[in-house]
Amino acid sequence: MFDPEVQHMVLETVFRGVEHPLSTLNTPIHQYRGIKYASIPARFRQSKVFASYPPLVDASRYGPICPQVKNMNSFEETLFGLNDDDIPKQILKQNEFECLNLNITCPGGLSSQSRLPVMVWVHGGDDRGHGSNWVYDGGALVGKSILVGKPMILVTFNFRLGLFGFAAGPQLREDGHESIGNFGLRDQRTLLEWLHNYIADFGGDPTNITLFGESSGAFDIVCHLLSTLNETRPLFHRAIVQSAVFEYNVPDVAAAGCQLSRLMSTMHLSTISQLRAIDADQLVKFGRSLRVVDDGVFLRHDWKDFLSPEDAHKNHHHSLNLVVPKALSALRSHTHTPKPTGSAPSSSSTPGLRLPLFQPLLIGDCASDSMLWSTPISYWTSVAAVRRIKAVCQSLSKTNTIFHTYDISSYTDDQEIAEHILELVNDARIAWPTDCFAHNARREGGGVWRYVFDQEGPWSCIPHHAADLMYLFDNVPLPESSTRSIAGSSIQDNLAEADMFPESFSFEDDDEEDIKYSPIVRDDDAMSSEDDGWGVPSVASWSYSRVRDTMQEQWIAFAYGEAPFNEDKVFVFGPEGETGERSQSIFEGRRRRTLWKKAFEPLGMQVVHKMGVELSRGPPLRN
């Protein structure tokens, strides 16, 4: 069998990839790995689109990733509750200046005339993680798209993280770029530029790109929706926001500069030139708290209005009751007739087309997203938590409403307080901001579809943060007594037998630094995969299959420009395999919407977000 190749006419090169392990004669799947999409002139400089390739490009191996703390699992692997033996060991190079690369998973037999929809995954993880993570491998999802007659292309990619991606401050103005910081967000924008220029020869449609991501990656997508460039030259056409960890109290350039100065002082550095000269390995530990900066350039001036409850800005919102042009309305709601493999409907839009202020949006969250912070939250005592909440809220009456709503008091048993704080943090950091953003986005004319993910993780008994990724990408091994087979589904039958993680996942190069993800110790009893009394998996095979298939098909349909379900309804995934449209009234029971209005709105998003962040970090460490 010959390795697949793409003769790229525009770039005047040949990309030689690999047959994906799930590829069959009926569902051919090709993968092109580690393709460089941008160059980095220097540390703390904005990236530039890369387009100078040799005549033949080896796209069979994953590229380097952004430097980060070694010997740690991704947060998804930690949350999934997997046994150590079930986590594939990836050995990937770290290289600050060569980490901007992408992976393309696509059906076989495409040409520049195929014009398939392109789905672009933005990974989460804050200062750790990468787009080449085995969890995000696109083979199963692309295979599903072929089986349902809606073939698409899936792109994953790496971008700068932590200090390398989000350092900011007046000290960096020497770069001469109008934007100070947000290098990671700009890398993502550069990736979209590359796709618009060059994805066509891989068979993709540059005018039909859907961004999707979760956690911090989902909030990055929110930032792109709220960016000034998205108002003038949108480079994507739909967005899927999954359990976004919203950031409301982001620093401006001056505040970020103070933080950067403190970091430099800790390292006994006085100039940016000295900071640029420090080895990357010495900087990875300083990037955990660095994220998006409000530099007055990247984000539009009114971006916070979209994260606030409606009453906070109803008197000065500038774009209510927009009339959506007919062509854009068609882009939102037209249901395309599936075409044979190798072709797809092409939107009439162009990169410069003026869409409504927001592109069509599919958005939701998991019922127990706050499990992301379960370890630090477990250290709170009742007295300490009450003291911290009072200090943040600065209002006795408003604080008492919070205490009453979430059943928190100084007398709450210390063995129970963590459960109540998890509920409060879940609502403050993810669920309420998701509801506010979706409500505000709906008025912008692009269309908004809501979902809730309440399905249990296959290895746990709860719908924890990132549990939806196990179903969407279908790469995480299931407990032994569960199977993922579907009668008549060749791609799923092949999945159980395929070697999903071949040698290319663990190559070494003596000339560059490697990163190995090793298991870390988990001590959270809530993530146990089996009931101690019965030893029964928490998710039955039929339940897993039903949620997986429904979710994959809905996401693929959305990428095709179809309305995935009735916009006036809410789509539910779980619990126990439940799927389907439900009335918006379910938010009252499944997502405490009435209580948010009573407890959160009087405080405002700024205070609520601060409270959620401080509680999620756990109590201060004492010497």
Q: Are residues 123 and 21 in the same domain?
A: yes
340 and 376 belong to one structural domain = no
The Cα 185–Cα 507 span in angstroms is 29
CB distance 590 to 574 below 8 Å = no
Strand-pairing partners, residue 363, are 241, 450
- Is 413 inside any structural domain? yes
Residue at 478 is within a domain: yes
Domain that holds residue 612: 372-431+593-616
pLDDT tens by residue, 190-209: 999 999 999 999 999 999 99
Statement to judge: residues 284 and 354 lie in one domain: yes
CATH of the domain at 118: 3.40.50.1820
- pLDDT of 482 reads 56
> CB-based contacts of 559: which residues, under 8 Å, 6+ apart?
117, 118, 119, 150, 152, 208, 210, 238
> Is 192:209 a contact under the CB 8 Å cutoff?
yes
> Average pLDDT, stretch 515-524?
33
- Give the mean model confidence (pLDDT) for residues 480-495: 46
The answer on 457 and 470 residing in a single domain is yes
Asked if residues 380 and 417 have their Cβ atoms less than 8 Å apart, the reply is: yes
Distance CA 402, CA 412 (A): 14
The verdict on residue 146 lying in a domain is: yes
**CB within 8 Å of 260: residues ≥ 6 apart:** 167, 168, 169, 171
Task: For residues 399 and 510, state if they share a domain.
Answer: no
AA identity, residue 46: Q
Taking the C-alpha atoms of residue 155 and residue 24, their distance in angstroms, rounded to an integer, is 20
Select the more confidently predicted residue: 494 or 331. 494
Burial 277-292 (b: 16+ CB within 10 A, else e): eeebeebbebbeebbb
Question: Higher model confidence: residue 499 or residue 380?
Answer: 380
Burial of 412 (0-12, 13-18, 19+ CB in 10 A): buried
Given pLDDT bands bounded at 50, 70 and 90, which one contains residue 176?
low
Distance between CA 321 and CA 244 in Å, rounded? 26
| Whether 461 and 586 share a structural domain | yes
Token readout for 110 is 């495409």
Whole-angstrom distance, CA of residue 85 vs CA of residue 518: 10
Q: Please give the pLDDT value at position 15.
A: 99
User: Residue holding tokens 């787009």?
Assistant: 131
Clarify whether residues 353 and 239 are in a common domain: yes
pLDDT for 503 equals: 38
Give the helix/strand (H/E) hosting 184. Answer: helix 183-198
Helices (H) and strands (E) in the chain, counts: 20, 18
Structural domain count of the chain: 2
Q: Please determine, for residue 341, whether its predicted confidence score (pLDDT) is greater than 50.
A: no
Do residues 35 and 18 both lie within one domain? yes
> Which pLDDT score, from 0 to 100, does residue 335 have?
36
In a domain, 623, yes or no: no
In a domain, 348, yes or no: yes
Give per-residue pLDDT as tens, 115-144.
999 999 999 999 899 999 999 999 999 999
Same domain, 180 and 324: yes
Do 482 and 407 reside in the same domain of the chain?
Answer: no
pTM, full prediction? 0.87
Average pLDDT, the chain: 86
Q: Determine the 3-state secondary structure of 279 from DSSP.
A: coil
Longest dimension (CA), the chain: 72
Are both 612 and 536 inside the same structural domain? no
In a domain, 621, yes or no: no
Give the 3-state secondary structure of residue 263.
helix
- Determine how many CB atoms are found less than 10 A away from the CB of residue 183: 29
Between 92-106, 301-315, 317-331, the lowest mean confidence (pLDDT) is in 317-331
How far, in Å, CA of 141 to CA of 136, rounded? 10
Strand bridging mode 91-94 / 513-516? antiparallel
- The 10 Å Cβ neighbour count of residue 585 is 10
User: Is residue 486 included in any domain, yes or no?
Assistant: yes
> Whose structure tokens read 């990428």?
559
- 328 and 401 share one domain: no
On whether residue 622 sits in a domain, the answer given is no
89 pLDDT tier (thresholds 50, 70, 90): confident
pLDDT at 314: 56
**Percentage of residues in the chain with pLDDT exceeding 90?**
73
